[in-house]
Structure 1
């Protein structure tokens, strides 16, 4: 990294730390514990939050909203608690690019006065604290998209549609969260903002991407939820998976997208979607319903007309017929991921539901080639141009994907061909879904081929990008109480990797170190030992038909009730 870029990064990161009031600065001896596994306990034990504040941050978003609306808690005390927690979380996992607690507290005082005078909440999310991913336009503030050349760009003159929807509902924004350089990585790291760490094992694993700052902050209880994470290839679902959260990528055509930043606008082949990361299905339903109905933006031009099928969302469901996709045929999941799916399957069968093995009706590697070509129809020229303008080199994993998928500018004919292929994949998948005896209520599959993303490891995205290509809504759900262990999850003897560029690397991570060194990648320790993964949470993915997001919510609530009977662990 050049001296100029180093100076800019130092200035940017210092600006965030300087915005933290002295009363929330971690003592040096406490911060030294960050290298140890599972650092979530630091916040309640650091002595910087009161017992009452710890109780507040341990509530899920829907619980916070209820207590605020009923006047049991004031918006100011809730905001103070989450700002304190977020400040500590940032010092541990590096998840913020901007922090404005004074501004948030002023808004909280305003809402408290309004509720006291009118006895009416400001909206359905009255006083709920929330951070915003560094991709949304926010009036009076700028976003960077983790490009150093965008650090000092002019402030936006209007809110993105998502920010407006949340503000109109009563949300109070207090921070902006990190994302990776270029936004196209499932780990959050950039020369400008540094690396966002995984709360469960910061020394080895990343927080996911591109909404990694959101995922780490919510997992650390620095925000009750993220309502505005975005996803075009797994950017909501990977952070949900690697931080043990609930997350949804809704049908993209149903989510408003005005005011979302990007290196280049105009790609309408695979569209970005906006959705929440949170701690419960109740929170997820509350937040995604708001986004999909966008009540104060009824004619938002980037989304279809708002609707919510309450019957589909709440109709009692018994005897679900579930397709079980154990592998995509490109990269087999690690043993603990497969064991988790088996455990989910066992619990659902015991509850009377039917599970049928499902196999994709086409070659998922060929589908991935189409997906990546459509991501970068101009050959990533604009992205690479922004990096060059800021004196940056692409982060190694991004360079790896560009090379692996042979990214190049497409001719009009090639664009048409790939769009035609995408349409054919959608048609084939629909036929396969309908051909099942009685069809499927949903499909369950891995969230990712592994339980966490090691630092700078080029993860196979196929278990998430498939649903972006098809535009099927999908939910990540934690499997609570599941523990990875070397005894139960040994490597399979005699495994023969497939010939694609990802399967061997996924299976034999330690051997991939040689390739990583060629790309100047630093992996702190080869995480090929199951014991390295033992603190990582386990999740799985639930998929439903396009535009049937309410039905996905419904079946996911049923599944959650079967496989997760205990409450989410709290700090």
Structure 2
């Protein structure tokens, strides 16, 4: 009897298959060595023409405008982004499947149809896109980073978010990495390896949508419209890669056809949203997802609607500088201080907001609801291939004392969730605020396998409040402006001391800094309008067009 392959052998074959799918003409020299800001390699390696570099520097909205006008052909746009995606993968390891020739052929067919009719097939006509490795994509194998799933049969269907994108005219050229189990804010798995941060290869790309975000940051795709988030999986990758990103209200986003190890767990629901380069792109994709025009009766979410608010003149903004569990690092504190000063200077009302309950206790409820069965489904998948759990999953499993809940215990946790929602709504109403500004994480990115505190993102999943990540573009981390607070006395919990000990401004000097903006549930449009106003003040865009072309 032939001996079964080890998980290491299966993983090596899978990773090599992705590299083999890259055309020879798009491969970096095997002798080349790259360091520093990996985002610059594409413009220096000589694999892209000047026109292809121009195309791949465009935002999604800009690229779509040029395709609609006939200035750019869809096939040229798809090919340019595919070449840059190939470069990105060779540098940061962000793909699990790559099928560029199929995508280019599909784009050429769109070009032929456009030449004949002068009509686009939808609002995303010809836009190249890679899909996170948890969406059903017809004809493609979905692994969710699990070795045991590498030999699964190809999907026979598209997930509802994939259907929305395909119906809108998007063209798929690949699938992107996510961490083993999906429950990690770093993208690493035994199957696909580790996805690196484009700003600093010693740091993680965030998770679980780290493959999507790193690919966008490397400009290997113009945007990642359907990343997913159940605990920070859109927002942490968006933040650590310096992008705009949004977790919409989960109850408004279509979810059918997305794979999961625990499909029956609906206490905290996954949301789908974009990682992209501008607020314009963010609004474009969120509106498409929340109105899902080609799936009007999608059963996994509320009926589609979009209520466009008037641009806000004066906002009342609550500042949650800390959650009282883990204090953010000095650069994040400075980003909040400087942003507050700018907002006050133009007339917005800004004041301190404190959560109406203990955020550590809320986290205990959150993690109990994540793993209601003691994570036995995830562990069974790992056992199938004999692979060990990744470090971050194992750490959180142990810290939060994961165990299977009885039915009465589950009911009690669900009741706690409802109480937290009621308490937060009451506090929001009493404060009369339009939105909250808070950190996305206590650090602006983290080294590999560091057990990051998730509380700044998971709380909004528990409550189902929409939240947006916004870069603070002019802020650069440095030892002079962001010194370590050596007199700090960490709180008595498993996360605050390691987070404080870790900080060294020299380590973080290349990392982008972002803020998280939070709005009322179901009022995603109002949050986006507030974010546009805040972005204009914080990043100096008032009266200035975003386009760089």
Match of 2:265 in 1: 267
**Partner Cα distance (2:36, 2:405) in 1:** 45
Corresponding position of 1:559:
534
Tell me how far apart the structure 2 counterparts of residues 87 and 73 of structure 1 sit (CA, whole Å): 21
Match of 2:289 among 288, 291, 300: 291
CA-CA distance at 1:3 after TM superposition: 7.1
In the TM superposition, what is the alpha-carbon distance from 1:423 to its structure 2 partner? 0.4
Q: Which residue of 229, 232, 235 corresponds with 2:230?
A: 232
Cα deviation, residue 347, structure 1: 0.8
Matching residue of 2:154: 155
CA contact (8 A) 2:62 2:547 kept: no
The two structures have a TM-score, normalised by structure 1, of: 0.94
How far apart are the structure 1 equivalents of 2:517 and 2:508? 23
Equivalent residues in 2 for 1:197-276, closer than 5 Å: 197-202=196-201, 204-276=202-274
Q: Which residue of 1 aligns with 2:108?
A: 109
Tell me, yes or no, if the aligned pair for 1:480 and 1:568 is still in contact at 8 Å.
no
Instruction: Tell me whether 1:24 sits opposite 2:34 in the alignment.
Output: no
Please say if 1:306 is aligned against 2:304: yes
1:333-372 aligned within 5 A: 333-372=328-367
* Count of residue correspondences: 543
Give the one of 436, 439, 447 matched to 1:443. 436
In the aligned structure 2, how far is the partner of 1:569 from the partner of 1:392? 46
**Distance in structure 2 (CA, Å) of the matches to 1:267 and 1:159:** 21
Runs of at least 5 residues in structure 1 that lack an aligned partner in the other structure: 510-527
Instruction: Give me the whole-angstrom Cα distance separating, in 1, the residues matched to 2:194 and 2:252.
Output: 32
Aligned to 1:168: 167
In the alignment, structure 1 residue 49 sits paired with structure 2 residue 44: no
Q: Deviations over 1:472-501 (max 9, x none)?
A: 000000001110001111111321111111
d(CA) in 1 for partners of 2:548, 2:96: 26
| Structure 1 residue 29, shift from structure 2 partner | 3.9
State the match for 1:530 in structure 2.
505
CA deviations 1:524-562 (Å, max 9, x no partner) are xxxx32111000000000000000000001000000111
Partner Cα separation in structure 2 for residue 134 and residue 467 of structure 1:
24
For residues 399 and 71 of structure 1, the distance between their equivalents in structure 2, rounded to whole angstroms, comes to 52
2:449 is matched with which residue? 456
Q: Following the alignment from structure 1 to structure 2, what is the Cα–Cα distance between the partners of residues 256 and 306? A: 10
What is the aligned partner in structure 2 of residue 539 from structure 1? 514
Q: Deviations over 1:199-225 (max 9, x none)?
A: 0001x2000000000010000000000
Give yes or no for contact 2:187–2:195 (8 Å, CA) kept in 1: yes
Query: Equivalent of 1:491, from 478, 481, 484?
Result: 484
What is the CA deviation profile of residues 339-376 of structure 1, one whole-angstrom value per residue up to 9, with x for unaligned ones?
Answer: 01001101111111010100000000000000000001
What's 1:425 paired with?
420
Task: Name 1:64's counterpart in structure 2.
Answer: 63
- Per the alignment, in what secondary structure is the counterpart of residue 532 of structure 1? helix
Residue in structure 2 matched with residue 95 of structure 1 by the alignment:
94
- 8 Å CA contact 1:476, 1:541 repeated in 2: yes
Structure 1 distance, partners of 2:306, 2:371, is 33
Distance in structure 2 (CA, Å) of the matches to 1:61 and 1:29: 34
**RMSD of aligned residue pairs (Cα, Å):** 1.3
Q: Secondary structure at the match of 1:28?
A: coil
Q: Is the 8 A contact 1:279 1:568 kept in 2?
A: no
Aligned mates of 1:15, 1:491 — CA distance in 2: 44
User: Is 1:15 aligned with 2:17?
Assistant: yes
Per the TM alignment, residue 4 of structure 1 is displaced from its structure 2 partner at its CA by: 1.2
Distance change >3 Å, CA 184–CA 568, structure 1 → 2: farther
1:274-318: per-residue Cα shift (whole Å, max 9, x none)?
0000000000000010000000000000010000002x2xx0211
**Structure 2 unaligned blocks of 5 or more:** none
The alpha carbon displacement at 1:568 in A equals: 7.5
Aligned counterpart, 2:461: 468
Q: SS where residue 277 of structure 1 aligns?
A: strand
Aligned to 2:375: 380
Q: What is the DSSP-based 3-state SS (H/G/I as helix, E as strand, rest coil) of the residue aligned with 1:262?
A: coil
CA 1:570–1:242: 2 relative to 1, 3 Å? farther
TM-aligned CA deviation for residue 319 of structure 1: 1.6
